[in-house]
Amino acid sequence: MRTTHVWCSGNLYRLTVGPGALQQTGEELRRLGFRSTAVVVTDETVGALFGADIERSISDAGLSPHVITIPPGEDQKSLATASVLYEHLNEMGAERSTPLVALGGGVIGDLTGFVAATYFRGLPLLQIPTTLLAQVDSSIGGKVAINHGMLKNNVGAFHQPLSVIADTSTLLHLPARDLGNGLAEVVKSAMIRDAGFFEFLEASMDEVLGQDSLALEKVVALTARIKSAVVQEDERDSGLRNILNFGHTIGHGIETASEFALCHGEGVAIGMVAAARLARTLGMIDEEDAERLSSLLLRAGLPVRIPADLDPAIVMSAMARDKKRLDGRLRFILPTRVGEVVVRADVPEQLVEDTLLSCYDNA
Ligand SMILES: NC(=O)c1ccc[n+]([C@@H]2O[C@H](COP(=O)([O-])OP(=O)(O)OC[C@H]3O[C@@H](n4cnc5c(N)ncnc54)[C@H](O)[C@@H]3O)[C@@H](O)[C@H]2O)c1
Ligand SMILES: [Zn+2]
C-alpha cells in the first residue's frame, strides 16, 4: 500500500493506493474527523461487487453508512440524477458536514462530486475510484461535472476531494477494454512528463496487463502523481494543464467520427500516435521515440491506426468544433521526445489533414 499526498487549491489530501485499500474507508473518515453518517453513492454493478465491504468498513469505524445506488452508465451524469441525489440528501436530513463517498468509475465520481460541490454550497467528498481511468485520471484534479443538452461535462465545478482511495484489487473485475481505456491515459502521462516511468511501462507491460499487484500499484500511484503535479501547477486549467490533453484533440475527433464505437482511450491512443506523426513531420521528434510510443500502445492492446471506415471529413469537423471553443486556434500537444511535450497553436491545417490521412489503417 502506498500513501502519498496531493496538494490542490490550498488543501493537502491523501491518496492511498493498493490492493484492499477500500477496507480503510471507515478509518479514513474517522481520521478526517467524521463521526456520524457517511453517504455512499455507487452504481448497481460496483455496489454489487464492493458495496458490502464499504458498508462494513464504515460501520466498523463507528459511523452509519447510507448507501444510494443508481444504474450504471454515462446517462446518469445528468441533472435528473443529481436531483434524485439532492432529494435523498433532503430526506435523510444531510448536514453541511455530511461526507459523500463516491464509489465507482468516472461517472459516479463526476456526478457525486458535482452533487458534493453544489449541495449546501459544498459537502466533504471522498473518492473511491474503481476503474483504472477513474484511479489515474477522473478522481484526481477536482473537476466534477454532469452532461446537459447533449453536451459533455458542460455543467460543473472544481471540488477537491478530502481523500482518494484507489483500491487496485477492484480492477480485477474490470473488463479488458476498460483496463485499456485507463492504460491510454497511463501511457499519455509517462509520455508527457516521465521518461523513467515510460521505460518502466516498456519493461512491465505484461505484468500490468496480468494485473500484477505491485506493477498496478506503481502504475496508479505514478500516473495519479503526474496528473496531480500538473494540476497543482495549473489548477484552474489555464495553460500547463493543456499537456494532459496530449492525443485528445485528434482523439476526440476520431471518437466522434466513430460515433463512439471507439472508446475514449482508444481514440486517445490513435490521437497520440497521430500527434507524434505530426511532430515527426515538423522535425520535432526522432523516429525512434515516435516508434516507442506506438509499440507501447500496441502492447497495451490499444489501436494506433485510424480505422479505414472513419470519414476524415468528420474527424476534421469534430476537431474544428474544438477549435471554436479555443478562440479559433487549434492547439496541439506535440512530443519532442519520450517524457516531453510542447504546446503548439501554429500547425497549418493542411499539414494536420495530410498527417491524419497518413495515419489511416489502409494508408
Ligand atoms: N473529472 C475528470 O477530470 C474526468 C477525467 C476523465 C474522464 N472523466 C469522466 O469519467 C467518465 C468515464 O469514467 P469510466 O471510464 O470510469 O466509466 P464508468 O464510470 O462508466 O465505468 C465504466 C463501467 O465499469 C463499471 N465498473 C466500475 N468499476 C468496476 C469494477 N471495478 N469492476 C467491474 N466493473 C466496474 C461501471 O459500473 C460502468 O458500467 C466519463 O463520464 C468522463 O467524462 C472525468
Ligand atoms: Zn482522457
Residue 319 is assigned to a structural domain of this protein = yes
Q: What is the Å distance from ligand 1's center to 255 Cα? A: 16
Q: Phi and psi for 141 in degrees, rounded to 5? A: 110, -15
Q: Is 306 part of any domain?
A: yes
- pLDDT at residue 194 above 80? yes
**Residue 185 falls inside a structural domain:** yes
Beta strands 332-337 and 37-43: pairing type? unpaired
In whole angstroms, give the CA distance from residue 156 to residue 260: 23
Indicate the top mutation candidate among 8, 125, 138, 211 to test ligand 1's pocket, ranked by most ligand atoms within 8 A of CB. Answer: 138
Query: What's 79's domain CATH number?
Result: 3.40.50.1970
Name the band, by pLDDT with cuts 50, 70 and 90, for residue 360. Answer: very high
Mean pLDDT of 70-83: 98
Mean pLDDT over 172-199 rounds to: 97
Do residues 19 and 132 share a domain? yes
Where does residue 9 fall: left (phi above 0), alpha (psi -120 to 50 degrees), or beta otherwise? left
159 and 256 share one domain: no
**Domain extent for 123:** 2-173
Distant-in-sequence, close-in-space partners of 355: CB < 8 Å, separation ≥ 6: 274, 277, 278, 281
What is the average pLDDT across 278-300?
Answer: 97
The answer to whether the CB of 252 falls within 8 A of the CB of 235 is no
Q: What angle do helix axes 79-92 and 106-118 make, rounded to 10 degrees?
A: 60
- State the chain's mean pLDDT as an integer: 94
Domain end residue (candidates: 145, 173, 201): 173
Q: What's the CA angle centered on 117, arms 36 and 15, to 5 degrees? A: 70
293, 346: one domain: yes
Question: Is residue 202 within 8 Å of 282, Cβ to Cβ?
Answer: no
Output the CA–CA distances (angstroms, integers) from residue 290 to 93, 191, 341, in the order listed: 56, 10, 12
Question: Is the domain of 163 the same as that of 253?
Answer: no
- All three cell numbers of 276, joined, read 507524434
Distance CA 169, CA 20 (A): 6
Contacts of 249 (CB under 8 A, 6+ apart): 271, 275, 319, 322, 330, 331, 332, 333
Q: Is 322 exposed, middle or buried (0-12, 13-18, 19+ CB in 10 A)?
A: middle
Residue 327 or residue 106, greater confidence:
106
- State the pLDDT confidence band at 326, using cuts at 50, 70 and 90: low
Looking at residue 327, its pLDDT comes to 67
Q: Which residue has the cell 473511491?
A: 128
161 touches ligand 1 (CB under 6 Å): no
Residue 165 has pLDDT above 60, yes or no: yes
233 pLDDT higher than 90? no
Selected residue with higher pLDDT from 219 and 13 = 219
> Over the stretch 4-55, which tens digit does the pLDDT of each residue have?
888 766 678 899 999 999 999 999 999 999 999 999 999 999 999 999 999 9
Res. 319: pLDDT tops 90: no
Q: Are residues 152 and 182 in the same domain?
A: no
In the predicted structure, residue 324 carries a pLDDT above the cut 60: no
pLDDT at 323: 63
Q: Atom 3, ligand 1: which residue's CA is nearest?
A: 138
* Interatomic CA distance for residues 323 and 270, integer angstroms: 19
Centroid of ligand 1 to alpha carbon of 225 (angstroms): 19
Return the half-sphere exposure (C-beta side, CA atoms, 13 A cut-off) of residue 42.
25
For residues 223 and 150, the model is more confident at 223
CA atoms within 13 A on the CB side of 127: 38
pLDDT band at 62 (very low <50, low <70, confident <90, very high): very high
In angstroms, rounded to a whole number, what is the distance separating the alpha carbons of residues 218 and 196?
A: 12
Cβ of 143 closer than 6 Å to ligand 1, yes or no, is yes
Instruction: Give the strands of the sheet with 100-104, arranged side by side.
Output: 2-8, 11-18, 163-167, 125-129, 100-104, 37-43, 64-70
Which range, of 72-81, 99-108, 134-143, 327-336, averages the lowest pLDDT? 327-336
Helix (H) or strand (E) segment spanning residue 116: helix 106-118
Give the strand pairing for 64-70 and 37-43: parallel
Q: Do residues 181 and 125 share a domain?
A: no
Instruction: Report pLDDT for 237.
Output: 62
Question: Does 211 contact ligand 1 (Cβ within 6 A)?
Answer: no
* pLDDT value for 9: 64
Query: Which ligand has its closest atom nearest to the C-alpha of 46?
Result: 1
CB 57 within 8 A of CB 25: yes
Q: Which residue has the least CA distance to atom 23 on ligand 1?
A: 105
Mean pLDDT for 309-326 is 82
Residues 6 or more apart in contact with residue 85 via CB below 8 angstroms: 41, 68, 70, 111, 112, 115, 119
Q: Domain holding 309: CATH number?
A: 1.20.1090.10
Q: What is the pTM of this model?
A: 0.96
Looking at per-residue confidence, does 232 or 238 come out higher?
A: 232
Do 257 and 315 reside in the same domain of the chain?
Answer: yes
The reply to whether 215 and 162 lie within a common domain is: no
pLDDT of 322 higher than 90: no
> Is 233 found in the same domain as 168?
no
Does a structural domain hold residue 76? yes
Helix/strand/coil for 270 = helix
Is 25 contained in some domain? yes
Stretch 292-320: mean pLDDT, rounded?
A: 95
Choosing from 121, 147, 173, the residue where a domain stops is 173
Find the mean pLDDT for residues 210-227: 95
Q: What 3-state class would DSSP assign to 153?
A: strand
**Inside any domain, residue 363:** no
Q: 353 with 215, same domain?
A: yes
Same-domain check for residues 186 and 131:
no
Judgement on whether residues 166 and 180 belong to the same structural domain of the protein: no
pLDDT category of residue 235 using cuts at 50, 70 and 90: low
Ligand 1 contacts CB of residue 104 (under 6 A) = yes
Handedness of CA 332, 338, 340, 346 (dihedral sign): negative
The last residue of a domain, from among 173, 208, 228:
173
Domains contained in the chain, number: 2
260 assigned to some structural domain: yes
